[in-house]
Amino acid sequence: MSDVTNRLVDALNEAIPESVLAVDERLGEVTLTIAAEHLPGVCRRLRDRHGYEQLIDLFGVDFMGYGNAEWETDDASSTGFSRGVQPATAGRFTFDTAPEPEMSENRFAVEYLLLSVSRNHRLRLRVYCPDTAMPVLPSVVEIWNAANWYEREAFDLFGILFEGHPDLRRILTDYGFVGHPFRKDFPQIGHVEMRYDPETRRVIYQPVTIEPRVLVPKVRRDVCAEGPAPAGDDDA
């Protein structure tokens, strides 16, 4: 780690013991994983003592299935037809076979991108929500007012609650929207659809009528040695 990162981590741990859980520095970017209960204190100290006066962005992250690839790049056959994919992610399953939400530890997190204008230095904070079933973190609106809309966005799209937020309500989805569309167990086709009803002369909601399907095209992995298949061959 750089000297700047070492000094910052030492200062935070000295002022707020056990506040920094992990440090990662790669490609010139520093990420500090902070304990949720120490988030307000760490953020206030970063702003007042270390010059991170600007919150650039704040966003939620869903680590459900993180690191599990669905592409069968190693086992896919080299001949015949193959999708080369196992339908495991959101939108690739039917409602009858939809997987139950994973309640694994550290599924939801919030990341804060900070900027110190005076020191020309950027910093990323990562905080995991302690409870996956009801993800809640302290609000930082009183520290950085720019967090107001960002926290509403994370609540709307990921269902992450921010305790102490002055007006926590949806900001991007429609009125009455059910669910949180950026969660990985939310179907890509959604739950409902809207259409104009000429009889009632208004837009109505109804259960989604799109048939769930795998949107990965079939690929022919081998062409016969004599050349391309003849025209009109349905298997070409």
E-only strand ranges, 27-160:
29-34, 54-62, 81-82, 108-116, 121-128, 136-138
At residue 165, the pLDDT reads: 97
The set of residues, in sequence order, having a beta carbon less than 8 Å from that of 99 and lying 6+ positions away, is: 93, 185
At residue 97, the pLDDT reads: 54
Residue 158: exposed, middle, or buried by beta-carbon count in 10 A (0-12, 13-18, 19+)?
buried
At residue 56, the pLDDT reads: 97
Report the C-alpha gap between 12 and 41 in whole angstroms: 10
Torsion angle in degrees (nearest 10) through CA of 86, 87, 89, 92? 160
Q: What is the pLDDT of residues 110-132, one digit of tens each?
A: 999 999 999 889 999 999 999 99
Q: What is the pLDDT of residues 66-109, one digit of tens each?
A: 776 555 555 555 555 554 454 555 545 544 555 565 556 789 99
At residue 222, the pLDDT reads: 55
Q: Which two tokens stand for residue 54?
A: 């600007």
At residue 77, the pLDDT reads: 55
Enumerate residue ranges in the chain where pLDDT < 70: 1, 68-104, 212-236
Q: Give the CATH superfamily of 3-219.
A: NADH:ubiquinone oxidoreductase Nqo5 subunit (3.30.460.80)
Report the C-alpha gap between 108 and 133 in whole angstroms: 10
The set of residues, in sequence order, having a beta carbon less than 8 Å from that of 181 and lying 6+ positions away, is: 157, 173, 190
At residue 112, the pLDDT reads: 98
